[in-house]
Structure formats: structure tokens, C-alpha cells
């Protein structure tokens, strides 16, 4: 029987199963195979905050979604075309998102009476007509891998565990992906456990052959290579990209990298990645708490390392006082906040952009700090690099905002040539900097930056601290005039960074009816929505802020060129409020606080409403 | 003639080198002056260059200390000095790092950092000014104030059970614990020297008199007339003898320390012998601290060698680098599955 191959431009797949079913791994392997084929793609995981919620429950469902295509892909897709449901709970949670007429791949062996009841199904949706408007491939995955591996040394539980690889094999067949990269990866991963790699490879091939030979599948899909800019690519998550950006900045500055951090979801992967880079001279310090994380980093900065602390919202709250210390002592420091839903513990594994006020405003007193926000997983690399460069050049802490969507989501990264990145030249004065009157630790360069004098330098002994210091001399001072001078200098230092911000990029006409202005991880959804609206003939453009403090110098000019401004944010309107104050004009807000990113369609609807 | 340590380069430093020009602003009569003087007097003979010292403090009267030392210094935020000092030492292991803290800074708001820096055994020296009161905020009880203490925030007497900082240090597995007195110049110098030479986190508890809010708290051991009968100065390997006439000693009875009169019944040979390396002895001395039937122990209560976090970090970096080679950005960027778009 010859099967049909249909060419499609893009596809969105969601893998859903119990937390123990290995859905993140399955999704990641499909992603790697897809990247190697040359498609553009974006991914997003979606997992519960419990490590292993009770098996079979709705709370225990873990999912991973990716969109891939033969042209540029800006988001992990709105609604999936294909849903892999490893149990009834996964189907229950994710069915509502599946496109009408979409495809479901289900492990029918998991649809037992007990599991169905636990997931809240009255009957068996695979057989009772519930799914009539979808294409359903109900497969006895557990049984099929059991048969295929009956001669293996694995326990029955171990064999059952390979069912995710069976599902992966079926998908590899459906979407014409190569098996080799996953097989090679399995061999490496399980090199020390005999039999395990082979069993998983058998499961994949069983799934692939099942698609190829059984009659239930009649069609497979081909997504051609995307036309990406030339160069070497790899798939990268935002958290890994942040880690790499920091290592790169340290290398470019001739510095050792110090990370003081406390584990927190969804930021921990930055700590994990950097702790594996000892041979890059990276010093990771898993501190006793969030406060010690930033405090140790401030100490390391004082002593001359490129110092970093990484966290998420609740950790930022704890670090607040120490951020003020870094501001008043004017020490370089990179503070990474991988935002999550809040307040308090909130929704640790869900994304949100609601720490913008906290980043820009959330400290006692006038305590300005530069804030940069990454717009996609790969962009986290350059944003981390820039944050470090600016911190050292202007002698200031810098906050880098990403979020769980960027940090744990992934996309292809065009690997840069290290030589093409700017050098960073931190200025450490030597003994000659001490005059007759002694060393002046708060003297200023043309950017108002003070010298980064390192302990160990003879003749430059000086004291810094959280008490207000006299400008130039650095002596403790409670003088009112001096406090005004220092407050103004701290503000000016941040304002000076405007000179580093390139002109805003406009997607679309530079003048028109509607501008959709965003920041951070909404970039992809906005882009897709604006592109669709443009194709529908609407006068709409996109601009996106990378630096949110300070704003780019041409912000007003750009905004003045449009009649209406829409600001979509995954919060209750934080940038919108700042913009109202900055631009003194009305803003159309589009806000979503559901712990998930925008769908392009939601933004498109808002464009249509405002544009008319 | 100044004392020098064998095998260490003569740096020709004097006390003056460590005195900056600014005015010291502690209250007249404060115990802190004596501590500062002994620090400035002792450091010149330690064989460490002045620029290689970093004094880190938090908030409180004691934490002004770095401003009065002409070295590198960082007066930081309340309670966080051990964490900041950890970063300083790990960034530049060549520095000699001192943390100056108080009973509120180090054991109330900063208690967590204190136990963890001691546990990690990062090579630094931590000096606790214990005056059993909050001075800078003008006289509230502290976590080391005794029950019943009447202060501004406990007008009917404190109902807050105190703890013994040196016992916490032991509980945190500190490798060096010593106790001294602000007025004991010799004991202070000896403590500073031993602590700085010790590899790892050294903890010095200083009984320090707050002349304004808690004057006389340590009168029994500060007063030269009563000190010999109330203080036990322990020396490694020597029997525990004290008293004006050195006629009293400590024995172990029913697993508890007990004071005995030396003479016909008890000889020196019957007494407990101090052993800095034995945690049972250290525990016993710490138990005596609040026991009015026993003298208060001073001196090096514990000193053991153990691995330090800072050395292990350097070693691990060297080991991994030897196995994997010096990391390059190219290797890092190409460490995943890479594909080329032509």
C-alpha cells in the first residue's frame, strides 16, 4: 500500500501525559530532530508545580508544545494540530485547545476505567463518540512495546516506560523526521546502562514501523526546510542562552564569572548550566538563600569578578535591599529575573510578565536601575551579554527580565562568531590613581561611572558601603546638598545608557494607524498578529522594547507617528501605565493573566477592534 | 621591636599604617575602641600586606569598624556580611578577609548566613562583638540578652530565651572558635593572630561592654579584681586551672563540669586537660558559659583542620579544566546538535 505524503507549511504538536510519562523528553527529542531537518521552530513546556502529582490525575499532567515550519516561526503555536495524549487526564486537560478537526494520538491501554474516572470522563472518549469531530489514532502503545521488548532484560515497568518512545516513533513517521539523531542521543545517554538504549531504540522503531505499515495511517506530512539566514544553528532554551551570554561577557571582559544563586523555578537551569562550566573558570555558589545569593555576588563584584545572581519573582523580593546596596555602592552586577505568575509563590511553573514595576520601581528611595528584557529564547543570549557589558561600563547593577516561557521554551539560535561580539574593557585603576590626598573612589568618568578599584591594589585602600557617600571622596556623608548631587548622578548614569540603545525597529510602515508596542516575550505573538493584519490590508506596525529602563530616545517620535497604540502584556498593564506617564496619551491595553502567553489570534482581535 | 612571624617577609608595617585619618565615632568609653586598637596593633606583624586585607561588616555599632581601618572595607547591609565576605574571598582567594559583626547583626537578622559560612568553612575571620544589647537602635534586647532583661522593648523583662553564639558556631561545625574580652589586650591579640592563621572560617566571640545601654553586663569578668575567680582561660594541652591564686580547677563529675579546690583532695593531675580538637571538651566549656557555678571560659575553645570551600572550589576548577581542557566559546556554542544553513 502506498501512502500519501502531503506538503504543509507548518504544524503545531502538543505532547501531553502524566508527569512520569517523559513528555518533556519526548518533546525535546522531536524538537532536535526537527531542528536538524532545517525547520524554524519554537517550543514551550507546560508542567505542573508538583514533581510527581498522583499518577493519572489532572494535576499531574505535563505537556510540551512546539510549532515548526518552512518559513519563520515566531511562537510555539496557538492551538495544536496534533495532540499526543498518553492518558485520559492528558486528553481531558488539553482537548479544549486542540484545533477542530485536529489529530489525536492516544495510548488506549491507559484508558482504563480507573484512569477515566480519575480524569473525570463519564465514558471512554476514545470509543463513545466524544471525539467524532477529530481524527483519532487510538493505539495500544503499552501492549505494543511490551510485545516488541518481550525478550529484553527490562522489567515490565521498564518496558512500559518506553511507550513515550513509541509515540515519538509514530510522530517521526507522520512528519517524516529522521530517527538517527534520537538514536545517537539514546546511545550516549544510556551508555552506562546496558540494554536501555537498545530498548528505547526498539520502541521508536516499533512506533515508526507501526505508522509505516498499519493501515490506520494513510497520510504523512512533509514540512520543507525553512529559509533561515545562513550560518550554524542549534536549538537553545532561554535559560541556557542566558548562561552562555554571561560566560561570553566574562570572556570578552577578561573576567572570571561568579554566580551567587538559590534554586528557584523557573530560573534554576541557569544555575545548572553554569555549574557545569568549571573549565570556563565559572564559580557557581549555591547560597543558603536568595539574599545570600545576591550578597555573595555583590562581594564578588567588589573583589573584581563579573558577578551575577539569578532568580524569579519571590527571590527578587528577597533581594530588594541588596539591589539597593549595589546601586549605592555603584558596583556592576547582573540580576536575572525569570518571571513567573504571582504574587507570593503564585504559579511557579506558569509564565507572566508582571515583575516590570518591581524591576523598575520596586526599591526604597530613588533607586534607578537599567532594565533589559529578552524577546525570544535565542535573544536571551545577547540580552545577557548586553546586561553584563552595560553593568561594567556604567558601574551599575542591571536587571535582565526573561520569563518562564522564554527560559524554558526554545528556538533555533544562530550561533554567533565570538570575534564579532564587542570587547568589554572594565577599567581597574592601578596604584597611580592615588593622589596626594589619597584615592577618590567616587570620582567620575565621562559616563558618570566611578572607578572599579580592586582590593589587593596597593595605595587604593578605600571603604564603600550602604551609607550615603560624598561624591568624589567616598567619605560617609549625610550632607543634604551632597545627597541631592548623588541622587541626581545615580539617575543620570541610568539615563546615559540611552546612548547605547539603537533606534527602534519598526515592522511595517513607519507611520500609520495602529502601532502594537510590546516588551519581552510577547514579541512572537505580536509579530504573527501584526503580520496577519497587514496581509488583511490594515495599517498596523510593530515595535518592541528591549531596554525598558531607560526607554529608547526615539520612543516618543515613533509613537507620535501612529494614531493608536496597543500594548499587549501578560500582566494587568504595567508598561502601559509607564507609557501613559512618559507619552501623556491614551493607550489601548490588552492584558492577560492566565499564566500562559498570548495567542496571536487574541492580539489580532484587539488590532481589528482598535483599527476597525 | 615588633614581632614577626617566621618565614614571612618583613613588611615594615606599623599600627599607623592601619589608622585612617577620619574621626572614630563610637561613644566615649565603648569597648569597641579597645578592640580596634588591638586589631591595628596586631595586623602589622601578621606578614600580610595592607592592601590584601578586606574588612566586611553589616549594620550596627560594631559594623562601623571598616571605616576605622585603613584597608579595603565594605560596610554593607544588616546581617549579610558573611555572605558578602564569601563572595569577596571566592572572587579573590589571595585576600585576607575579616567580618566584623554584632549579636544582632550576626545572630539575629544574619543568623542564617552565619551558620552557613561556618559550615562551609570559607577561609575568613569573623569577629562577633557580643554586648547582649542593640546599641545603634538605642537599647532593645538582643538574641543574647538574658531572660528578665529590662530594656526599651522589654520594660517588664525579656521573655526571649537567649542563645550562646559560640555554641551555635560549634553546632554549625565551625573549625575554629575562640572567646575573648574587649579589655583583655593580650587575649585579644592572641585571638586575632590565631584566628587569622587558621585556615577556614574562624569565629571569635568578644564580650564587649556597651557603656550606654548595657554597662556592666560582663562586670564579673571585666573587673580585674573579680576576673581571676570568674574566668577560665583555657590553653591547649594544659589542665583547667583558675583563681586568683590558681588554686581552683575543673573536673568532670557525672558528665558535667565541676569546680574543685586544689589541695589535698584534688591535684592538677585530676583536672580536665583542654583539648582544642575534642568537641566533647568544647561542648563542656560551652555548657559552663551560662552556669553561675562555673567560671566563664575564654581562649581558643576549638581548633581543628578541615577542608575549606574556597580551596575545594579552586581545586575543582583545576581538576575539571585538566580533564576537559580550558573551555572556549566555540566549544560552548557548538556543544549541542548543530546544523548548518547554507
Q: Is B36 in the A-facing interface, judged by CB distances under 8 Å? A: no
Chain B residue numbers touching A35 (CB-CB < 8 A): 337, 339
Q: Specify which residues A469 forms β-bridges with.
A: A476
- Cα separations in angstroms, A440 against A214, A444, A454, A474: 80, 9, 13, 7
Residues 298 through 327 of chain B touching chain A, CB cutoff 8 Å: 313, 316-317, 320-321, 323-327
Distance from CA of B151 to the nearest CA of A (A): 27
* Res A51: pLDDT: 73
- A307–B85: do the CB atoms touch at under 8 Å? no
Q: Which CATH architecture has domain B15-217?
A: 3-Layer(aba) Sandwich (3.40)
- B339–A248: do the CB atoms touch at under 8 Å? no
ipTM confidence: 0.97
- Cα separations in angstroms, A37 against A69, A234, B175: 11, 12, 58
pLDDT tops 70 at residue A1:
no
* Mean pLDDT, chain A, integer: 95
**How many Å apart are CA A370 and CA A386, to the nearest integer?**
11
- The alpha carbons of chain A give a radius of gyration, in whole angstroms, of 27
Picking from B99, B277, B291, B275, the residue whose alpha carbon sits closest to that of residue B175 is B277
| Contacts of A422 by beta carbon, 8 Å cutoff, 6+ apart | A252, A389
pLDDT band, very low/low/confident/very high, at A467 (cuts 50, 70, 90): very high
Chain B residue numbers touching A302 (CB-CB < 8 A): 54, 74, 84, 87-88, 91
Positions of E strands within A86-149: 103-107, 135-139
Q: Is B67 in the A-facing interface, judged by CB distances under 8 Å? A: yes
Cβ pair A517, A527 in contact under 8 A: no
- A465–B76: do the CB atoms touch at under 8 Å? yes
| Contacts of B221 by beta carbon, 8 Å cutoff, 6+ apart | B181, B207, B227, B230, B231, B296, B298
- Cα separations in angstroms, B321 against A240, B227, B327, B331: 21, 56, 8, 13
Q: Is B56 in the A-facing interface, judged by CB distances under 8 Å? A: yes
Share above pLDDT 70 across residues of chain A, in percent, rounded to a whole number = 100
- A302–B339: do the CB atoms touch at under 8 Å? no
DSSP code for A110: G
**How many Å apart are CA B328 and CA A385, to the nearest integer?**
16
- The C-alpha cell 545576591 sits at A294
**B339: helix, strand or coil:** strand
Picking from A597, A606, A559, A601, the residue whose alpha carbon sits closest to that of residue A578 is A559
Max Cα-Cα span within chain B: 99
Query: What values do phi and psi take at A536, rounded to 5?
Result: -85, 5
Show the CA angle centred on residue A442, arms to residues A459 and A499, nearest 5°: 130
Q: Which domains can be identified in chain A, with CATH numbers?
A: 4-222 (3.40.920.10), 234-420 (3.40.50.970), 427-500 (no CATH), 506-611 (3.40.50.920)
Q: Residue A288 is nearest to which of B88, B116, B332, comparing CB atoms? A: B116
The three cell numbers locating residue A110: 491507559
Average pLDDT over residues B307-326: 98
- The C-alpha cell 507620535 sits at A560
pLDDT tops 70 at residue A108:
yes
Average pLDDT over residues A289-298: 98
Show the CA angle centred on residue B195, arms to residues B190 and B200, nearest 5°: 165
pTM score of the predicted model: 0.93
Instruction: Characterize the bridge pairing of strands A506-507 and A512-519.
Output: unpaired
**B223: helix, strand or coil:** coil
Chain A residue numbers touching B113 (CB-CB < 8 A): 288, 291-292, 295
The phi-psi region of residue B263 (left if phi > 0; otherwise alpha if psi is between -120 and 50; otherwise beta) is: left
| Residue ranges per structural domain of chain B | 15-217
Chain B residue numbers touching A455 (CB-CB < 8 A): 51-52, 54, 72, 88, 92, 95
Chain A residue numbers touching B72 (CB-CB < 8 A): 455-456, 461-463
pLDDT digits (tens, 9 = 90+) for B205-236: 999 999 999 999 999 999 999 999 999 999 99
| Contacts of A322 by beta carbon, 8 Å cutoff, 6+ apart | A291, A294, A295, A298, B77, B80
Picking from A483, A453, A569, the residue whose alpha carbon sits closest to that of residue A522 is A569
- A292–B80: do the CB atoms touch at under 8 Å? yes
**How many Å apart are CA B38 and CA B68, to the nearest integer?**
13
pLDDT digits (tens, 9 = 90+) for A143-165: 999 999 999 989 999 999 999 99
The three cell numbers locating residue A352: 507572566
Distance from CA of A454 to the nearest CA of B (A): 9
Distance of CA B231 to the CA centre of its chain: 18
pLDDT digits (tens, 9 = 90+) for A55-102: 899 999 999 999 999 999 999 999 999 999 999 999 999 999 999 999
Least confident of A572-576, B6-10, B317-321: B6-10
- Cα separations in angstroms, B124 against A81, A209, B128, B176, B317: 60, 64, 13, 11, 21
Q: Is B339 in the A-facing interface, judged by CB distances under 8 Å? A: yes
Picking from B232, B333, B269, the residue whose alpha carbon sits closest to that of residue A231 is B333
Q: Residue B334 is nearest to which of A297, A415, A476, comparing CB atoms? A: A415
- The alpha carbons of chain B give a radius of gyration, in whole angstroms, of 23
Q: Is A300 in the B-facing interface, judged by CB distances under 8 Å? A: yes
Name the residue in chain B with its Cα closest to that of A184: B337
pLDDT digits (tens, 9 = 90+) for A192-235: 987 899 999 999 999 999 999 998 898 999 999 998 899 999 99
- A416–B86: do the CB atoms touch at under 8 Å? no
* Res B5: pLDDT: 53
- A456–B22: do the CB atoms touch at under 8 Å? no
Q: Is B112 in the A-facing interface, judged by CB distances under 8 Å? A: yes
pLDDT digits (tens, 9 = 90+) for B121-145: 999 999 999 999 999 999 999 999 9
Size of interface A-B (CB pairs under 8 A): 204
Query: What values do phi and psi take at A566, rounded to 5?
Result: -110, 130
Cβ pair A84, A16 in contact under 8 A: yes
Amino acid at each position: 500500500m502506498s501512502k500519501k505524503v502531503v506538503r504543509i507549511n507548518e504544524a503545531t504538536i502538543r505532547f501531553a501525559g502524566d508527569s512520569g510519562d517523559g513528555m518533556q523528553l519526548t518533546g525535546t527529542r522531536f524538537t532536535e530532530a526537527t531542528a536538524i531537518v532545517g525547520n524554524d521552530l519554537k517550543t514551550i513546556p507546560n508542567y505542573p508545580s508538583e514533581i510527581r502529582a498522583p499518577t493519572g490525575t489532572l494535576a499531574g499532567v505535563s505537556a510540551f508544545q512546539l510549532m515548526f515550519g518552512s518559513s519563520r516561526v515566531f511562537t510555539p503555536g496557538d492551538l495544536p494540530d496534533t495532540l499526543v495524549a498518553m492518558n485520559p487526564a492528558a486528553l481531558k486537560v488539553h482537548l479544549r485547545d486542540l484545533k477542530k478537526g485536529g489529530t489525536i494520538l492516544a495510548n488506549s491501554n491507559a484508558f482504563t476505567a480507573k484512569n477515566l474516572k480519575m480524569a473525570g470522563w463519564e465514558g471512554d472518549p476514545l470509543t463513545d463518540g466524544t471525539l467524532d469531530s477529530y481524527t483519532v489514532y487510538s493505539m495500544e502503545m503499552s501492549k505494543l512495546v511490551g510485545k516488541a521488548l518481550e525478550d529484553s532484560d527490562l522489567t515490565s515497568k521498564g518496558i512500559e516506560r518506553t511507550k513515550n518512545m513509541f509515540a515519538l516513533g509514530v510522530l517521526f513517521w507522520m512528519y517524516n523526521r529522521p530517527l538517527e539523531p534520537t538514536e545517537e542521543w539514546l546511545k550516549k545517554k544510556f551508555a552506562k546502562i546496558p540494554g536501555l538504549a537498545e530498548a528505547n531504540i526498539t520502541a521508536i522503531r516499533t512506533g515508526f514501523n507501526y505508522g509505516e505499515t498499519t493501515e490506520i495511517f494513510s497520510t504523512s506530512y512533509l514540512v520543507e526546510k525553512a529559509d533561515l539566514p545562513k550560518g550554524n544553528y542549534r536549538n537553545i532554551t532561554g535559560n541556557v542562552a542566558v548562561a552562555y551570554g554571561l560566560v561570553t561577557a566574562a570572556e570578552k571582559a577578561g573576567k572570571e564569572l561568579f554566580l551567587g544563586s538559590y534554586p528557584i523555578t523557573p530560573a534554576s537551569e541557569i544555575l545548572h548550566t553554569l555549574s557545569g562550566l568549571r573549565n570556563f573558570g565559572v564559580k557557581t555558589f549555591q547560597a543558603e538563600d536568595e539574599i545570600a545569593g545576591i550578597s555573595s555576588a555583590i562581594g564578588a563584584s567588589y573583589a573584581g569578578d563579573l558577578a551575577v545572581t539569578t532568580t524569579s519573582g519571590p527571590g527578587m523580593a528577597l533581594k530588594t535591599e541588596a539591589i539597593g546596596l549595589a546601586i549605592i555602592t555603584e558596583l556592576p552586577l547582573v540580576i536575572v529575573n525569570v518571571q513567573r505568575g504571582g504574587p507570593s509563590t503564585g504559579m511557579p511553573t506558569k509564565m507572566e510578565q508582571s515583575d516590570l514595576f518591581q524591576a523598575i520601581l520596586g526599591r526604597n528611595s530613588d533607586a534607578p536601575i537599567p532594565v533589559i528584557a529578552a524577546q525570544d529564547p535565542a535573544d536571551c543570549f545577547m540580552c545577557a551579554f548586553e546586561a553584563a557589558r552595560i553593568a561594567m561600563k556604567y558601574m551599575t547593577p542591571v536587571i535582565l527580565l526573561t520569563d518562564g516561557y522564554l527560559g524554558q521554551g526554545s528556538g533555533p539560535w544562530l550561533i554567533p562568531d565570538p570575534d564579532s561580539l564587542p570587547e568589554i574593557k572594565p577599567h581597574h585603576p592601578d596604584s597611580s590613581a592615588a593622589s596626594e590626598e589619597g584615592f577618590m573612589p567616587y570620582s567620575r568618568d565621562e559616563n558618570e561611572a566611578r572607578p572599579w578599584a580592586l582590593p589587593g591594589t596597593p595605595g587604593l585602600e578605600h571603604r564603600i558601603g550602604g551609607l550615603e557617600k560624598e561624591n568624589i571622596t567616598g567619605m560617609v556623608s549625610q550632607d543634604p546638598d551632597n545627597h541631592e548631587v548623588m541622587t541626581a548622578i545615580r539617575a543620570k548614569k541610568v539615563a546615559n545608557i540611552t546612548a547605547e540603545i539603537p533606534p527602534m525597529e519598526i515592522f511595517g510602515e513607519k507611520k500609520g494607524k495602529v502601532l502594537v508596542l510590546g516588551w519581552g516575550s510577547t514579541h512572537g505573538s505580536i509579530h504573527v498578529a501584526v503580520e496577519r493584519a497587514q496581509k488583511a490590508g490594515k495599517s498596523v506596525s510593530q515595535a518592541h522594547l528591549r531596554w525598558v529602563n531607560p526607554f529608547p530616545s526615539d520612543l516618543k517620535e515613533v509613537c507620535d507617528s501612529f494614531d493608536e497604540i496597543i500594548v499587549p502584556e501578560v500582566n494587568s498593564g504595567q508598561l502601559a501605565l509607564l507609557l501613559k506617564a512618559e507619552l501623556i496619551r491614551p493607550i489601548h491595553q490588552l492584558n492577560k493573566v492566565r499564566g500562559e502567553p498570548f495567542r496571536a489570534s487574541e492580539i489580532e482581535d484587539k488590532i481589528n477592534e482598535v483599527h476597525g | 621591636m615588633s614581632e614577626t612571624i617566621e618565614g614571612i617577609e618583613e613588611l615594615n608595617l606599623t599600627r599607623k599604617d592601619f589608622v585612617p585619618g577620619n574621626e572614630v565615632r563610637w561613644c566615649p568609653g565603648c569597648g569597641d575602641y579597645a578592640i580596634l586598637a588591638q586589631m591595628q596593633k596586631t595586623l602589622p606583624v601578621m606578614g600580610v600586606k595592607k592592601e590584601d586585607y578586606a574588612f566586611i561588616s553589616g549594620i550596627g555599632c560594631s559594623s562601623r569598624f571598616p571605616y576605622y581601618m585603613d584597608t579595603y572595607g565594605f560596610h554593607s547591609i544588616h546581617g549579610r556580611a558573611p555572605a558578602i565576605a564569601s563572595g569577596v574571598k571566592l572572587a579573590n582567594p589571595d585576600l585576607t578577609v575579616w567580618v566584623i559583626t554584632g549579636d544582632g547583626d550576626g545572630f539575629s537578622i544574619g543568623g542564617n548566613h552565619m551558620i552557613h559560612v561556618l559550615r562551609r568553612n570559607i577561609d575568613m575571620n569573623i569577629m562577633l562583638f557580643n554586648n547582649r544589647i542593640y546599641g545603634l537602635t538605642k537599647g532593645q534586647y538582643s538574641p543574647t540578652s538574658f531572660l528578665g532583661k529590662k530594656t526599651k522593648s522589654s520594660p517588664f523583662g525579656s521573655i526571649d530565651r537567649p542563645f550562646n553564639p559560640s555554641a551555635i558556631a560549634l553546632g554549625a561545625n565551625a573549625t575554629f572558635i575562640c572567646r575573648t574580652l574587649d579589655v583583655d589586650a593580650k587575649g585579644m591579640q592572641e585571638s586575632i593572630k590565631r584566628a587569622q592563621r587558621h585556615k577556614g572560617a574562624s569565629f571569635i566571640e568578644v564580650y564587649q561592654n556597651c557603656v550606654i545601654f548595657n554597662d556592666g553586663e560582663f562586670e564579673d569578668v571585666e573587673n580585674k579584681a573579680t576576673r581571676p575567680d570568674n574566668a577560665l582561660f583555657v590553653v591547649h594541652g594544659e589542665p583547667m586551672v583558675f583563681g586568683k591564686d590558681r588554686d581552683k580547677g575543673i573536673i568532670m563529675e557525672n558528665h558535667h563540669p565541676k569546680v574543685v579546690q586544689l589541695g589535698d583532695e584534688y591535684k592538677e593531675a585530676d583536672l580536665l586537660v583542654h583539648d582544642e580538637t575534642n568537641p566533647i571538651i568544647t561542648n563542656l566549656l560551652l555548657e559552663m558559659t551560662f552556669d553561675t557555678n562555673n567560671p566563664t571560659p575564654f581562649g581558643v575553645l576549638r581548633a581543628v583542620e578541615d577542608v575549606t570551600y574556597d580551596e575545594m572550589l579552586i581545586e575543582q576548577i583545576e581538576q575539571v579544566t585538566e580533564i576537559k581542557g580550558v573551555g572556549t566559546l566555540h566549544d560552548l556554542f557548538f556543544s549541542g546538535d548543530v546544523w548548518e544553513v547554507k
